[in-house]
Amino acid sequence: MQELKSNKPRSIARTLSIGLTITLVLVAGVSLGVNFILASREAKAELETRVEDYISALTDALKVPLWNFSEETIEAICTSYAQNEFVAELRLVDPNGNIFFNIEKADHGLVVERARDIYYQENHIGRVHIALASGYYTAVIRQLFQSFSLTILIMIGALLIMTGVLLRQFLKNPLSRFTDMVDTYAAGDSDAFKEGTPYSEFRPLVGVLDGMGEKITSQMKSLKLIQYAVDNSSVATYWIDPDANISYANEAACRGLGYAKDELIKLSVADFDPQWPAGQWPEIVEKIKSEGSLTFESVHQRKDGSTFPVEVTATFFVFDAAEYIFAFVKDVTQRKQAEEEVRELTEGLERRVEARTEELRKLSEAVEHSPVTVMITDKTGTIEYVNPTFSGVTGYTAKEAIGQNPRFLQSGHLPRSFYQDLWDTILSGKTWQGEFLNRKKNGDEFWESTSISAIKNDDGEITHFVAVKQDVTARKHMEEELRQNVEELERFNKQAIGREIKMIRLKEEINALLGELHQEEKYKIVK
């Protein structure tokens, strides 16, 4: 406590007095400023109203005198208005700019002004200009400010006197008594606060000081618990000095390396890390200091000579002016094995992908060079791909076809129900097969034998449709020629049979006539 007194801290009473005084001054200043602004706005608003009234009254009063050119009347009217304490300027001119009356008062702050032309029986006879000043209001506000300032000074003086007396009586004396109690408690008398304090404001402090011993005991228990948790953590933990010597190692570190604790703390990192970068260690330490922590992988060697991969997380800290590196070391043998398995699986997958890619490339080449037309659409029927054979058959380029619906090739010979049946079939996932009579780009019609199938994703959802088409126009023409030949043969056969029947009947008639003549039959008819 003597040391605290020698530092001569600021007095609470003095600080509180100064704070209250500043608060009072600020409040008074804000209040004065607000009152000044409101008064100024009110004064200006009133001047705005007055200037409108004055110039309207002047305009009406000067019409007849200006028309009759009565100088005495004009002078009297203008002089009566100019004597008003608000009027700072008043000027009356004729239409040619000649001045009838002009007065300007000095030392007035102009606020508002107006000018208006004067007409009599629609004749322009003059122009009046008037300006009102705030001199009167400024004087009132100045007087208000002076009286307000005097009041504030009186209040500040009274406040300083009263706060000095009251704070000394109700703050300084209780604080002195409380300080004596704290000195006694600090000297080792734990019963210094047993009787409490008569001042309710100090009772929370008394409770804090009285419980300080219990908190220290509790903190010591917490520190022991933390130490126990670190000692028995499943993660190997080391404290390392800047020279890479082991200052502390927990049980997990000892078990992992196969050393007793007293053996391990005599070693340096280089004794159990075959990959220890001795020449780069100073740079590593600086990097840990600059970044706060650093994570890297290494290899540790057990006492029996076996090794295992580890992941090290090193954190730099300073304690009691000494520098340490707090290192967590994790055995990552299982992770490395898993990574190796993943690597092997990845390589196998990559090989499969490459093989599949090669298959797709070959398939793509086969489709590109296929003698039949191949068309792929999305699930709405919009064309996304056609092979070169399509262009050769239809005359449309791939650019012209992509984005179209396959119906743009239709010749219109099939009913709408035919296409609805086709669409229902492929949406159900089945393959549709049939023939179309389509129209080429040059207008020629051609027949296509078509097979349309759905393409599904892994969830069984239809994503695309593929159509394989073959131009069968030549076959259709051959079928038509064959049909026509068959029909011609049938007609010829019918005609031949008719002639044969007629010949038989004629031969029968001849044989009948010969019979009537009792002659031998000439023709032998086989039925």
3-state secondary structure of 380: coil
Phi, psi of 442 (to 5 degrees): -85, 5
- 527 residues of the chain, pLDDT tens digit each: 344 444 555 565 567 667 777 777 777 777 777 776 777 777 777 778 888 888 888 888 888 888 887 888 888 888 888 888 778 888 888 888 888 888 887 755 667 888 888 888 888 888 988 888 766 556 656 666 677 677 777 877 776 677 666 666 666 666 666 676 667 666 656 555 555 555 565 566 666 666 665 565 566 677 777 777 677 777 888 888 888 888 888 888 888 889 998 888 888 888 888 888 878 888 888 888 888 888 888 889 898 999 999 888 888 888 777 888 888 888 888 888 888 888 888 888 888 878 776 776 766 676 777 788 888 999 888 999 988 988 888 889 989 989 988 888 877 677 878 888 888 888 888 899 988 888 888 988 888 888 899 888 888 899 999 888 888 877 777 877 777 766 776 676 666 666 677 777 777 777 777 676 667 776 676 66
DSSP line for 249-307: E-HHHHHHHT--HHHHTT-BGGGT-TT--GGGHHHHHHHHHHHSEEEEEEEEE-TTS-E
Other C-beta atoms lying within 10 Å of the C-beta of residue 394:
24
CATH superfamily, with its number, for domain 229-331: PAS domain (3.30.450.20)
The label of the residue with tokens 């000394």 reads 168
Q: What number of residues does the chain have?
A: 527
CB 52 within 8 A of CB 130: no
Contacts of 54 (CB under 8 A, 6+ apart): 81, 84, 87, 114, 130, 132
Contacts of 411 (CB under 8 A, 6+ apart): 436, 437, 438, 439, 445
Q: Per-domain residue ranges for the chain?
A: 14-141, 229-331, 370-471
CB 92 within 8 A of CB 69: no
- The helix-helix angle for 135-167 and 12-68 (nearest 10°) equals 170
Indicate if 370-471 has the same CATH topology as 229-331: yes
- Assign domain 370-471 to a CATH class: alpha beta
Contacts of 52 (CB under 8 A, 6+ apart): 114
| pLDDT in the model for residue 288 | 84
| CA-based end-to-end distance of the chain | 155
Q: What is the reported pTM?
A: 0.34
- Assign domain 14-141 to a CATH class: alpha beta
CB 311 within 8 A of CB 332: yes
CB 466 within 8 A of CB 374: yes
What are the structure tokens assigned to 239, written together?
A: 């404290």
Q: What is the DSSP letter of 523?
A: -
SS (H, E, C) 73-124: HHHHHHHHHHCCCCEEEEEEECCCCCEEEEEECCCCCEEEEEEEEEEECCEE
> Beta strands of 152-251 (E only): which ranges?
236-240, 246-249
Contacts of 21 (CB under 8 A, 6+ apart): 156, 159, 160
Least Cα distance to 88 among 59, 111, 121 occurs for 111
Q: How many helices (H) and strands (E) does the chain have?
A: 15, 14
Calpha distance 431→420 (Å, rounded): 14
| pLDDT in the model for residue 144 | 66
Residue 325: exposure state from Cβ atoms within 10 A (0-12, 13-18, ≥19):
buried
| pLDDT in the model for residue 46 | 78
What are the structure tokens assigned to 364, written together?
A: 């793509």
3-state secondary structure of 195: coil
| pLDDT in the model for residue 377 | 92
